[in-house]
Chain A
């Protein structure tokens, strides 16, 4: 019976709550994925977003200003990424990883310089995001009300962004441009679309959502900043983007899986399972999903073409081959 009590409204609510930050950052990454950029720098953008959101919140005493600061910082990182990757054509993996490392080192250095502490920023007048109360929800849904009521605004933003993005990619000019640039850059060039400009816009839109995700991390349900608090969520988002190919609905499905894994593992912790193993669950889920889905979507045709070409060539080179 105890196991049954794991599954209830509270678990669903926790799932939605845990899904929000990773959904936001993954939706941000969908812009760059669709535009044909492999953006491993999401992690760092999220982290600076979280840090500067706390900083802004302390300085201004307003959560909204905090969010704006977080977004601004993430945008700066996104811009740096775009300049190096799009304009200088630097390797996106190298730049992304370096920006992540920069984000980690910078936030810790700044924390020491500003607050004189290591580890985390707690209290000090951080103003968290308010909880949204939808009028009448309690009367209408009774005990199910927490499903739509009482989340921080960022949770609603994340879930509302999903259908918006579907429409964006299907119906708007910019959405189509982003897809063309990602799927067929030559066609985009022929149509007179500036690849550079579209990729810059996609990177900045990505930074915007990654910043919101970071702000939600540090100002949402816990109002604090700790070293490397994004703890790999940006990388999980990249894993989701790889197997969803940036499509918003598939991103949502993947993120709900992670939100559930997160919420469920927190539950398990209260049942006395070793916390180290439970903390590993979301990463294992990410890895399993990545491996399982890449197994399904292997580029069969390309592989077979390559294989047959290789055979053809090796037949032609038979005499040379046997000499080896």
Chain B
């Protein structure tokens, strides 16, 4: 337990170091760090609507983060969550506008199709990863670009809303994910995300399957000698991760935009991956880190109008956080020098 506490304090120190470095960068571009941070706070938690907005941004980051957690736990780097998100978002929209179904059933079918789309999109890199050892980091990154272009093509050339530009027709009201409050677009997606995080955490902690996945992730050789079918399991891990990525896109479409648009959810996949890394692959921890990043993202909308800094400054801060966490992890571990073994351990 104290070990866990120490790891947790390490993350906080890393965040503080990154924020300090971010402050220096903000000063370099001639802006006051205090003003920027206050603006971020105000933009994230200023009033009821702002808080709801923060939670709205948190939702996709959380679900993408869970997708990343599943992969990381199983020793798979799914960097293609962004692509799965786009595919899932498009698939859900397609079911939403092209397939009239009774209320209640419609939204469930749309989400299921989003899940399948995400899993299908990652299945090819996953197959080559487990069968021939093709590096999944590179193949999933490259497939992101294809996914974004493919969904844009489908949207603009095949399913364009008449009279609209680079968006599909709106989905039918039966496919809407219900909203939680009247004053915001915040919807049931957040609840789904939280339940999913709890479920995945329970799964890894209390089921035999979850244990064997973690074992493959942290010690693949040991797991292999222990009789686990590492390849089959690796494939299923990537598939599950992709499925959750697809779900994130489906929820974004059905709950927020009610249509698929070109560039509808930029960067959520990467934010989710970063949130999962910062949380050390823990789904519960990812709730906290996703909220943090969601607040940064929502707060950053005010930066553009109220300060000279651009909203991408938060991307810089996020990257710095991960860099300082990665350095920290190893500072703690310098004692046991397992040279050459440089995998991120969970």
Chain A residues with CB under 8 Å of chain B are 38, 40, 80, 84-85, 88-95, 97-99, 101-102, 104-106, 108-114, 118, 185, 231-232, 235-236, 238-239, 242, 274, 276-277, 279-280, 283-284, 286-287, 290-291, 294-295, 298-299, 306, 309-310, 313-314, 317, 321
Contact = CB atoms under 8 A, between A and B. Distances in A.
Contact of A232 (B124, B145, B313, B323): B145
B132 A294 contact: yes
A279 B156 CA distance: 14
Contact of B227 (A102, A291, A306, A313): A313
A313 B323 CA distance: 41
A235 B144 CA distance: 11
Nearest to A85: B342
DSSP class of A's interface residues: helix, strand, loop or mixed? helix
Interface of B: 25, 29-31, 77, 79, 124, 128, 131-135, 137-139, 141-143, 145-146, 149-150, 152-153, 156-157, 224-225, 227, 270, 273-274, 277, 308-310, 312-316, 318-320, 322-323, 326-327, 329-331, 333-334, 337, 339-340, 342-344
B330 A89 contact: yes
B329 A90 contact: yes
A274 B153 contact: yes
DSSP class of B's interface residues: helix, strand, loop or mixed? helix
B79 A97 contact: yes
B207 to A, nearest CB: 15
Given A94-B322, A97-B79, A280-B145, A40 B138 contact: yes
Given A109-B313, A113-B310, A283-B145, A99 B323 contact: yes
Contacts of B77: 93
B149 to A, nearest CB: 4
B312 A105 contact: yes
Contacts of A283: 142-143, 145-146, 149
B128 A294 contact: yes
Contact of B344 (A91, A111, A294): A91
B327 A287 contact: no
A265 to B, nearest CB: 12
Given A93-B77, A276-B153, A280-B149, A105 B316 contact: yes
A274 B326 contact: no
A88 B331 contact: yes
A294 B131 CA distance: 10
B146 A113 contact: no
Contact of A295 (B132, B316, B329): B132
A109 B227 contact: no
B7 to A, nearest CB: 15
Contact of B139 (A89, A114, A290, A298): A290
Given A280-B146, A290-B139, A290-B142, A314 B323 contact: no
Given A94-B344, A310-B227, 10 more contacts: A40-B141, A90-B342, A91-B329, A98-B319, A99-B319, A105-B315, A277-B153, A283-B142, A287-B139, A306-B224
A294 B136 CA distance: 12
Contacts of A313: 225, 227
Given A110-B29, A290-B139, A91 B343 contact: yes
A84 B314 CA distance: 21
Nearest to B156: A276
A248 B329 CA distance: 35
